[in-house]
Structure 1
Amino acid sequence: MTTIATDTRLPEIAQPGLDSPGLDPAELAARARRFADHPENWLHRVRLSADGRWYERVHLDDEHEVWLISWLPGQSTGLHDHGGAAGAFTVVLGSLEERGVTTGRVLASGESRRFGAGYVHDVRNTSTAPAVSVHVYSPPLATMRRYDLDADGRLVELATESADDW
């Protein structure tokens, strides 16, 4: 396991060398909102799974990718980053809580969150109802790293996943 020293006063951890060559986070958030605004094109694809979050990549090109994710109460991602990709997500049904290393916020239906490459967070459904969200990443995801916090509040890298793992 690798321990990454962090300033725990920061709400997110930017890791040097992970600059995204793709679209900027503001554009990703705009694309997530535009996609979310047309549920007639994707709502029929959404499934709920008691075994874990359901997710499906619904668009992929050289520039970006779009994922649909559904969340039952209590389901979460755990602390993770998106490798060298920037990202954004829009909650389209219900609400989700996003937690950085030291901060958290609840996003209601219609609200978006955007972030640069190397951002570490956990997204979870802390409500009593299902939630659905749209996620956009650029460049398309190649790796994701999973983390935990040690007793001193520092990130500890647990695993690296590749796109083949999803």
Structure 2
Amino acid sequence: MTTLQHHILDHLRGTDDARTVVRVVADHRDLWAAHVRFDPAAPHHATVWADDRWEVSVGAWLPGQRSGSHHHVGRPGALLVLQGALRETTWHVATDGPAPGRRTAVARVHSTGGLRTHGTVHVHDVAAEGSDPVVALQVHARP
């Protein structure tokens, strides 16, 4: 393990907050910058740091690219946009009322510096918004 990894572990020891994890890793550009790769075929993701509790990856999207709908069930986490803007569409499922099971899509744009967290049940689609390439860090609890 490198000195930098030890330093990060010291900062994160005992934290249960995904926001803290993603911010600490973001502050150490030398951990993630070399893993940013823009692939014309699809968004590129690479794991840049992990311990026994958390896994952090960097994602890179070119304009028009999207992740496709996917879930993070059982893995709370956070997303921090480092460059550009991401449109995130999440789906909320009604559990009561006149139409239980009805799904409602909610779209939000997260610009550079934007940080959002999610709980243990999260279904979303993430897409590059606008004409600039996007770079973001994502952290998820280890399964």
Fold shared, TM-score > 0.5 on shorter chain: yes
Kindly provide the amino acid, as one letter, of the partner of residue 26 in structure 2: A
- Equivalent in 115, 118, 121 of residue 115 of structure 1: 118
- Equivalent in 128, 131, 137 of residue 134 of structure 1: 137
Aligned residue runs from structure 1 range 7-156, under 5 A: 24=16, 27-101=17-91, 102-140=105-143
The 2-side partners of 1:49 and 1:95 are apart by: 17
What displacement does 1:41 show?
3.3
Q: How many residues align?
A: 116
What displacement does 1:76 show?
0.9
Kindly provide the amino acid, as one letter, of the partner of residue 132 in structure 1: V
Kindly provide the amino acid, as one letter, of the partner of residue 103 in structure 1: V
What displacement does 1:129 show?
0.9
Alpha carbons 2:31, 2:49 under 8 Å: kept: no
Residues 7-47 of structure 1 deviation map (CA, whole Å, 9 limit, x = unaligned): xxxxxxxxxxxxxxxx75xx112211222233243212211
Aligned-pair Cα RMSD in Å: 1.5
Kindly provide the amino acid, as one letter, of the partner of residue 52 in structure 1: A
The 2-side partners of 1:103 and 1:83 are apart by: 18
Higher helix share: 2
Q: Identity percentage over the alignment?
A: 35
Q: Which runs of 5+ in 2 are unaligned?
A: 1-14, 92-104
Residues 51-94 of structure 1 deviation map (CA, whole Å, 9 limit, x = unaligned): 10111111222211010100101111122111311111100011
The 1-side partners of 2:24 and 2:130 are apart by: 25
Residues 106-149 of structure 1 deviation map (CA, whole Å, 9 limit, x = unaligned): 11111111001121111110211100000100024xxxxxxxxx
- Would you identify which runs of 4 or more consecutive aligned residues in structure 1 move more than 6 Å? none
TM-score normalised according to structure 1 size: 0.65
